[in-house]
Amino acid sequence: MTDTTSKTAELSAIGVSIWLDDLSRERIAGGSLEALIADRNVVGVTTNPTIFAAALAKGQAYDAQVAELASAGASVSEAVFEITTDDVAAASDIFRGVYDGTAGVDGRVSIEVEPGLANDAAGTIAQAKQLWAKVDRPNAMIKIPATVEGLEAITEVIGAGISVNVTLIFSLERHRAVIRAYLAGLEKAQAAGIDISTIHSVASFFVSRVDTEIDKRLEAIGTPEALALKSKAGVANAQLAYQLFEQEFATEQAQALLAAGGNAQRPLWASTGVKDPALPDTLYVTELAVAGVVNTMPEKTLEATFDHAPLHGDAVTGSYAEAQGVLDALAAVGVDYDDVTDTLEREGVEKFIVSWNELLDTVTAALEAAK
């Protein structure tokens, strides 16, 4: 029985889909996911290399499969592929009821292409298709980073009828390009005779990392005007991303695709755990609450939201002038927005490559130990 009185229920009633930014075999086998669906209004899951590296590094949940893979002579990359796709398939089965109940909008479980392919469109397309075929669940989503090369891959993969979670979006300009890559993909799928109503996509727009990077720069500038802008950029940037989403899906091209059964590409607020302890722990939940978005939360943020989020309805649609004012003020004190977002994209890819290598190291050690 899903709770209808809690803060997470209130957030869901505003129109926000709550997804958990975490997955592990322990969570799958131990009933934690079912409990979060029932008690915390969770309707989806996102994963990334960091999450899998952490899951594999602790606990014994993967031992049996690792031993089996070791005796079969699997390579490290084969083992990682088998382990992660098994988890995503199992989680997709748990969320199947949500998927069916929401006509495919929610109940989604995301798995990422190898981060080392971020600047390789052909490699990304090939691996996205391989992951989709292996997980073999209609409610899976393949995560593709929003690099310039990723844009080409998004169009191709959507065009093949595969649902995509576009990740690592930091700038408004790139968000616009992502939406257009998605619409081009829908047109491609339509031309190929694919039922476009079966294709879903989210655009993962990162929030707290923007504040972390910009706040560092504001502190270095150090003027009262600069310091007064601390911790305002992440929310303002995301609010303007929602405005951009509204504008782009009001175009003739988008409206024609929606009329033909296509789905809007929902904004997904990612990186919503607060990094600065001086800030309210649900800041990136309450200030980005609006209908038709996803908020993917680490468990700590999910629990804080459930416990005490001071929700005040739609916090986004009336905010655009003020949000633009924040970005204008940042430019006025000398913060270079384009440099910030370029830096964050580059670092985002690098961080995931480091996590991916940790994942490979963890599995290498496990395979060796199992032999």
Which residue(s) pair with 166 in the sheet? 144, 203
Residue 158 in any domain: the answer is yes
In a domain, 1, yes or no: no
Task: Pick the closest to residue 289 from 41, 14, 20, 7 (CA basis).
Answer: 14
User: Strands 108-112 and 16-20: what pairing?
Assistant: unpaired
CA 184 from centre of chain: 21
Asked if 172 and 206 touch (Cβ cutoff 8 Å), the reply is: no
| Confidence at residue 74, expressed as pLDDT on a 0 to 100 scale | 96
Whole-number pLDDT of residue 5: 84
Kindly indicate the confidence band of residue 4, based on its pLDDT and cuts at 50, 70 and 90. low
Contact between 19 and 294 (Cβ < 8 Å): yes
Q: Which residues pair with 20 in a beta bridge?
A: 45, 297
The three-point CA angle 270-306-208 to 5° equals 25
8 A C-beta contact, residue 287 and residue 315: yes
Structure confidence at residue 252 as a pLDDT band (50, 70, 90): very high
Beta-carbon count within 10 A of 239 CB: 23
pTM score: 0.97
Residue type, 5: T
Is residue 2 included in any domain, yes or no? no
| d(C-alpha 27, C-alpha 55), whole Å | 10
Q: Write down the pLDDT at residue 57.
A: 87
Residues 137-159: tens digit of each pLDDT: 999 999 999 999 999 999 999 99
Q: Which token pair is 275? A: 């990094």
Q: Which range of residues forms the domain containing residue 107?
A: 7-370
The answer, yes or no, to whether residue 109 has pLDDT greater than 70, is yes
- C-alpha closest to that of 94 among 165, 43, 162, 19: 43
Whether 31 is covered by a domain: the verdict is yes
Spatial contact of 72 and 61, defined as CB atoms under 8 Å apart? no
In a domain, 333, yes or no: yes
What pLDDT, on the 0 to 100 scale, is given for residue 3? 55
Q: Of 226, 188, 245, give the one whose Cα is nearest residue 326.
A: 226
Q: How many domains does the chain have?
A: 1
* CA 235/CA 318 separation, integer angstroms: 13
Instruction: Return the pLDDT at 2.
Output: 53
pLDDT at 141: 98
Residue 256 lies in a domain: yes
> What pLDDT is attached to residue 113?
97
For 187, other C-beta atoms within 10 Å of its C-beta total: 19
The pLDDT of residue 59 is above 80: no
Q: In the structure, what pLDDT confidence band is assigned to residue 58 with cuts at 50, 70 and 90? A: confident
CATH number at residue 71: 3.20.20.70
- Mean pLDDT rounded to a whole number for the chain: 96
Q: Examine residue 143 and state whether it is found in any structural domain, yes or no.
A: yes
Question: Within a domain: residue 70?
Answer: yes
* Residues annotated as part of the active site: 143
